[in-house]
Amino acid sequence: MENQYTSPQGQFYFHPGHPATPIQIYSPQYHHQAYGNSQPSTPTPSLLRRSHSEASFGRPVRRYRTTQQKLETYLVLLIDHEWTIGDLLYHLFNFEAGSKKSGPLRSERHAQMVSKFLRGECDFGVGVILDLWLRSPSAIPAEGVEEEGKLYLTTAEYHKLKSAWPAITTLAAHLVYKQFDKELRQVVKKKSGLHTFSTNGSPVPLDNYGSKTFLSAVNTFKKVQPLTWDIILRLATPTPRRKAGQEVIVRRIERPPELVAAELLSSLAFTRNRYAKLVPASISFLYFACSANRYMYSLGSRIAMTTSYHAVYEALKKQAAHDQEAVRKLGSSLTTAIMLCLDNVQVYVNPRDPRLARQAHMLHGTAGTGFVVENFNPSALDLSKKHARLAENKRKDLTCGGIWANINHQHLDTVCIIQWLHTLVEYVPQLSSYKSAVQNLYAGDDKQ
């Protein structure tokens, strides 16, 4: 049983290992001496019980107290004033103005000490206090209490909850939800870049649509929704595995967390705003290219994964008009040109899809690939020089003997020898040390 000492100010509790001795509180004694019939002069503190430092500076010596003794002192003061710890914290951090009777609620000292704590200028900050509250067994409501199980609620008013765990977790849920909602309202705005294929929507550049669409959406979500992106990405990322005492982070090749998070956030944005459909429109184009059934569009539009069939049809028409305008600009440019590479193709088609043909057959046709040529010189397409060369008709004097005589046979033999040496040093491991020497034969005077 703990030892205790009763004083006029309250009770002081001490651990069993310490003697039951009250805290020595110094109270100065005053001695008066009268001379004749004169009245007692101003009381003078006695020097009998004062040390040298007390007599020099006129104040009692500060005695060392343990942390527990200091806490007991403040707890006794709370009991004397009929306050609880909740009353102390409420009035300590209440920033509202006081009443007319009590006057201003905060003094200058009060404001300075509270501000110092909230700014993190104390040894123990707000984070340490919250951590201690959450790790305390008393923070969890007891069985049968009204607040039992009320954790992480977004509908309850956290300032009306009195237990630590329900109040802190509900406050955290409210703060995270407000930030999520704020970021979502920002990302569905037109300036974020998700509005496309709609009236007054953001135009999709030709070179930025297709394989880069998801990358563009990921960058948008990272920039505008940092907290939402971080939490969704953490949820989609597998838990690190332990191998030989070390954590091994699994890199997903299938179902990459970045793409899963981007698709989820795009569906949320499309649900909030019907014009924020950059990613759903791209998935709809894939469905259209694969000849998907119309019911697939209805299902995808219902769960905000794709647009409706009518929407994708209108989007394709707008994309075609956009591509047409881009081709017109390329055709009128003097520095950029479009080159076409044509080739005949034969493809053997198996009837894997019942909707396409009834038997295997060969398809014959022509395949064309168009590519843009930058810094193009229009004189390359000038046919006047070609016509002038054709008019000279030098082909009539071209013979096989003349072609043979124009060949540098000595140089050809040297190149063939070097090529064989290059083959040997590449595929014979014992000769690999000669690679650099053989490579130097292709340049300099040795090539002759």
Q: Model confidence over 205-251: pLDDT tens digits?
A: 555 567 788 888 999 999 999 999 999 999 998 877 766 666 666 66
Q: Please give the single-letter amino acid code of residue 419.
A: Q
| Half-sphere exposure (Cβ direction) of 354: Cα atoms closer than 13 Å | 0
Report which listed range, 1-10, 142-151, 350-359, 414-423, is most confident: 414-423
Give the separation between CA 420 and CA 442, rounded to whole angstroms.
12
What pLDDT is recorded for position 264?
Answer: 94
> Which letter does DSSP use for residue 40 in this model?
P
b/e 173-194 (16+ beta carbons within 10 angstroms → b): bbeeeeeeeebbeebbeeebbb
- Among 101-115, 208-222, 228-242, 317-331, name the one with the lowest average pLDDT: 101-115
Planar angle of CA 36, 37, 39, nearest 5 degrees = 110
Nearest CA to 63 out of 75, 74, 54, 72 is that of 54
What is the pLDDT, as a whole number, of residue 8?
A: 42
pTM of the model: 0.61
For residues 27-46, average pLDDT? 44
Sign of torsion, CA 160 162 166 170? positive
Lowest-pLDDT range of 7-16, 51-60, 308-317: 7-16
Among residues 217, 202, 177, 195, the alpha carbon closest in space to that of 273 is found at 195
55-69, 161-175, 292-306, 354-368 — which is least confidently predicted?
Answer: 55-69
Residue 25's pLDDT band (cuts 50, 70, 90): very low
Mean pLDDT of 282-294: 90
